[in-house]
Amino acid sequence: MNGEIRRVGVVLKRSNTEAVELGRQLLVELARLGLEAVVDRESSPVIDAPDGPERGELASLVDLVIVLGGDGTLLSVTRGRLEGTPILGINLGTLGFLTEHPAESLFPMIHATLEGRVAIEIRERFQVTIMTPGQEVKHRFVLNDAVINKSALARIVHLSVHVDDRFVSRFRADGLIVATPTGSTAYNLSAGGPILYPTLENLVITPICPHTLTNRPIVLPLDSVVDIRLESLSEEVYLTLDGQEGFPLSPKDLVRVRRCDDPAHLITAERRSFFKILHRKLKWGERGG
């Protein structure tokens, strides 16, 4: 790793008692190492730390971010500007694709990070722009995916998709997923999309339960600009970003998904294998009983 680490951001899942206890231990260890701890505003009350910045701002203000929780907690950190700050995810959730390190490896991983004995994996993000006539343009960052889907009671939605100003298709489906390689093992996978190796420079567009079976997922270069418009009149269609932030959509809205110039830098164990993670987390490639 390049650069000296002096300020360490701490984020934890407030509702997880193990994360709270580990967070208190972490503050003690950081102080012992002579490092300044900066706890985000959402986490600080549960570990009696001074109020810090909003979670989305944290990475841009510190030299390292440590996340104690699950993948959702880590995704909440990646909503803002990251500016190359490395993120160490400690898994206290369930699946743990992004927060890949177990709780017992927290302190060894901190020391390995300070000594430069870890690998950094670059994970590409999207910038998602929502344009509504007469309203301020909204810009958001996502690490996993941008999903357009209908409510449980709404009818099939009609979506038109252009890539680099060229018409691709009109989809009649329950919705549509635009996923990064990192997000390919999330909602995209459950919708029948392909698994992409996490460091590929690609994106995947996957329809959700398409009305026409010939509407299959398509993998595109990461530098593609994807424009999506809602063509049906349903009022119960939403854009959801990384499963955490949602916006209602109308036929006048334009959703634009493009590569973000500020990727995430995730700390991984040296010689870690993505395929071992697939085997362990998803039982991928294993034969049935």
Helix, strand, coil percent values for the chain (each to nearest 5) = 20, 35, 45
Place of tokens 């890949």: 100
Q: Tell me which amino acid residue 79 is.
A: R
Q: Yes or no: say if 141 and 79 are a contact pair by the CB < 8 Å rule.
A: yes
| Dihedral of alpha carbons 104, 106, 109, 115, sign | negative
Active site residue 71: yes
- Strand order across the beta sheet in which 202-208 lies: 218-221, 202-208, 175-179, 145-150, 237-241, 245-248
Q: Give me the catalytic one of 40, 48, 51, 71.
A: 71
Task: Give the E-state strand segments of the chain in sequence order.
Answer: 7-12, 36-39, 64-69, 86-91, 101-102, 119-123, 126-131, 138-142, 145-150, 157-163, 166-173, 175-179, 202-208, 218-221, 226-230, 237-241, 245-248, 254-259, 264-268
The residues carrying an active-site annotation are 71
